[in-house]
Structure 1
Amino acid sequence: MPSQDDALQQAHTDYQQHMRTCRQCHADTVPCAVAKHLLRLYNNARRSAPRTD
Structure 2
Amino acid sequence: MSSQSDALQRARTDYEHHMRTCRQCHADTVPCAVAKHLLRLYNNARRTAAHP
Give the TM-score taking structure 2 as reference length. 0.91
Q: Which amino acid aligns with 2:16?
A: Q
Higher-helix-fraction structure:
2
Match of 2:42 in 1: 42
Instruction: Return structure 1 stretches of 4+ with deviation > 6 angstroms.
Output: none
Query: What are structure 2's unaligned runs of at least 5 residues?
Result: none
Quick one: percent identity of the two aligned structures? 82
Q: Within 5 Å, which residues of 2 pair with 1:3-14?
A: 3-14=3-14
Cα RMSD, aligned residues only: 1.2
Match of 1:17 in 2: 17
Q: Which amino acid aligns with 2:35?
A: A
Give the TM-score taking structure 1 as reference length. 0.89
Query: What are structure 1's unaligned runs of at least 5 residues?
Result: none
Q: Which amino acid aligns with 1:25?
A: C
